[in-house]
Chains A and B, each alone.
Chain A
Amino acid sequence: MTGPGPSIGGNLLQVEGLSCEFDGSRGVARVLQDVRLTLGKSMTLGLVGESGSGKSMLIKSILGIAPRTARVTGRVVFDGVDLATLKERERRKFLGRRVGMVFQNPMTSLNPFVQVGRQIEEAARYYFKLSKDQGRSLAIELMATVGLPDPEDCYGQYPHQFSGGMKQRIMIATALACKPDLLIADEATTALDVTVQKQILDLLQTIQQERQMSMILVTHNLGIVAGRTDEVAVMYGGRIVERGPTEAIFHHPRHRYTEALIAAIPRTDQPAHTRLRTIPGRPPDILRPIPGCPFAPRCPVAEPRCVESMPPATSDGDGRHGYACHVPVGAASGGTGTPGLASTDAR
């Protein structure tokens, strides 16, 4: 058992030039194009995108669980290990132990005929060769961690005996069983009520801080990542179009898509009947990507070069805030703002 190293600052996950394609009868579908991503140890990343942006496929490609028909190219380094150097079985074992996943629908991930306690301990018993009793006590401990009431009683119950929020807690316990270095929550709270969503997000945040894990929150809802993540990456048309510290993304978005997306969200602090900003046009056609910025056809300020050439990756200030836009927002202002001061202009 290798405990999670406390070395804050190193990269846990490094993704370079990751692309993913499918062959279809109507041509090649480019689901991911040249994605570059790094995630520091014990950092939290919000991966935001609308449906079809490729965010779920990015996670699958990183973990090597994309459908067999997909052609995935690029480099993925996890904690210093280049995944390409591992055989498939080794890689699966390696990632299975080091990465925990929580999906949107717990019912499809939980086996309805197996006691939840057994499902929670299963992976840990396999990887750490735990005895029956050790497994049981680990499961009960984890159930207490994720806030299931009366874990001893819950151990022998079946998934259908729990509410949606409780099932998601069970999923989280399962994901935590092997003490992962990275927890990925893929739309884990989308199907839940707001109050339950908040509870689950609070729980994930608490666990992440206590265990000093890294975490990726994959979501279509910008509201979920605000205030809960260190960094945000915004995906559009199979590319990461902007990434940076969460505050910078929300207060000084540079990419036109990010800006439009934030402006499209209704807010409780706006008066009634405020006209929302919309994004005209339709999502990009992954079968026929344009050579330039995928957002160009819907962008209000696009220039001819935006359609013709992909904007180079640019970064602000200390290099943490990166974006790919020829005509970034507030090209003059720049800077990520000092944390703490930036919060005053929110209202």
Chain B
Amino acid sequence: MDAPTTPLRGPAGGSGPAVDDARDAALLKVRDLTVTFRRRKGSVQAVSGVSFDVARGETLGLVGESGCGKTTIGRAILRLLPQGTSATSGSIEYGGQDLGSLSSGGMRVVRRHLQMIFQDPLSSFNPRRKVWDIVAEGLVIQGVDKQEIARRVDAALADVGMSASMVEGRRPHQFSGGQCQRIAIARALALGPDLIVCDEPVASLDVSVQAHVINVLQEIREKRNLALIFISHDLAVVRNVSDRVAVMYMGKIVEIGEADHVYARPAHPYTRMLLEAVPMPDASVKLKPTSVDREMPSQSNPPSGCRFRTRCPLAARICTDVEPPLRRMPQGQLAACHFPYDEPAPGRPGPGDPGIPGDAS
């Protein structure tokens, strides 16, 4: 793993990544992360040169369509990618330690601080275990003594609004989807982590249950000063939970910054496209069908220059020839676009709203 030792910042030209608000205090520093999967027909770069920081107690939302590499980033941070078929380069630093250089024993110690929650809680539980043992498993693996395990399992269950007596003797399939996701959160919490990677944690839940799980996560985050990387395709959920947001397209971050800035004045056309597509529970705007747009190109053969150009309404010659680096926008966030917008978000009130041209309202 050859990693740049000094954080790169500023509007770097060419391939050098600009890093959003590189802070010395950052809990997690990801620099120039690239992940390549070997497939039968050649290899696919799932993540290409991604850099970002996560500070203590901060939530970074990672959004994008399926196949954009957001899940791969989450797994790369926890070193959960299949070793035989994937190759990772760049550096992932947690609390000053380069995770790539750690032995598996050293990594085990770090795992106490870095945890993960999966999309489908039920499938993330060993079907042959009871719930209490599932929550306790991490502590058993980490060699914590029995009394301490019992204490910490109880505390973790209490934090998610459950109790040992509720789960006693029960197996995961006896609980509802929302309860299972809370059990999964408790399992991650039991180790006392500083950062949890949440991979689509509410995507498979009903709306009313989703709200509950989000609230539980938020309470715990405040109480324990947790940092979260919240991976989701749902921009509304990400808006609710995130302090900062990174928008990914085909393995690259195309826009990253304070969530308030990104949502208020999205600069990258892709961010705007995503925001426009979010179904809003708002019947005051009668939606008009807009033109058919193109699909994401093949992962194994990404377009030259800007990868979004094949779907971009603003694409010009330069977009084919030159890949735009991440640059600071007037609003404060970084975006990788030759022709960034400097306008309020589509569907938001404001002058010169380019959102829906045909809409009279």
Contact = CB atoms under 8 A, between A and B. Distances in A.
Contacts of A51: 206
B278 A194 contact: yes
A250 B292 contact: no
A147 interface: yes
B113 interface: no
A163 B2 CA distance: 37
Nearest to A147: B292
B361 interface: yes
A266 B208 contact: no
Interface in A248-265: 249-251, 260-262, 264-265
A272 B284 contact: no
Most buried by B among A163, A203, A269: A269
30 contacts: A50-B208, A194-B233, A195-B274, A197-B277, A198-B290, A199-B293, A201-B279, A202-B290, A206-B289, A226-B280, A227-B282, A227-B283, A228-B287, A247-B283, A250-B283, A250-B284, A264-B207, A266-B211, A267-B280, A268-B236, A272-B242, A273-B218, A274-B240, A276-B211, A276-B214, A276-B240, A277-B211, A278-B208, A346-B282, A346-B284
A339 to B, nearest CB: 9
Interface string B205-247: 0111011101100100000000000000111110111110000
A199 B207 CA distance: 23
A18 to B, nearest CB: 23
A267 B212 contact: no
A266 B287 CA distance: 20
A234 to B, nearest CB: 12
Nearest to B237: A266
Nearest to A207: B289
Contacts of A179: none
Contacts of A282: 176
Interface stretch (A29-37, A87-95, A217-225): A217-225
Contacts of B276: 198
A86 B126 CA distance: 51
A278 B240 CA distance: 14
A28 B290 CA distance: 47
A26 interface: no
A273 B241 contact: yes
Interface of B: 65-66, 176, 206-208, 210-212, 214-215, 218, 233-237, 239-243, 259-260, 263, 273-287, 289-290, 292-293, 295, 345, 348-349, 361
A205 B65 contact: no
A273 B345 CA distance: 20
Contact of B65 (A193, A260, A264): A193
A272 B211 contact: no
Nearest to A277: B211
Given A271-B260, A273-B218, A278-B208, A195 B277 contact: yes
A275 interface: yes
A148 to B, nearest CB: 10
A223 B289 contact: no
A226 B239 contact: no
B206 A266 contact: no
Contacts of B280: 223, 226-227, 267-268
Contacts of A270: 239-240
Contact of A165 (B236, B283, B295): B295
Contact of B279 (A197, A203, A262, A278): A197
Given A265-B211, A278-B215, 20 more contacts: A147-B292, A194-B235, A194-B274, A195-B273, A195-B293, A198-B277, A203-B289, A226-B280, A227-B282, A227-B286, A247-B284, A251-B283, A260-B208, A262-B281, A264-B207, A267-B240, A267-B281, A272-B259, A272-B260, A342-B284
A313 interface: no
B206 A343 contact: no
A50 B295 contact: no
A19 interface: no
A196 interface: yes
Contact of B236 (A202, A266, A343): A266
Given A50-B208, A199-B292, A276-B214, A266 B239 contact: yes
B187 to A, nearest CB: 22
Contact of A202 (B212, B240, B289): B289
A266 B240 contact: yes
Contacts of A273: 218, 240-241
B206 A220 contact: yes
Contacts of A346: 282, 284
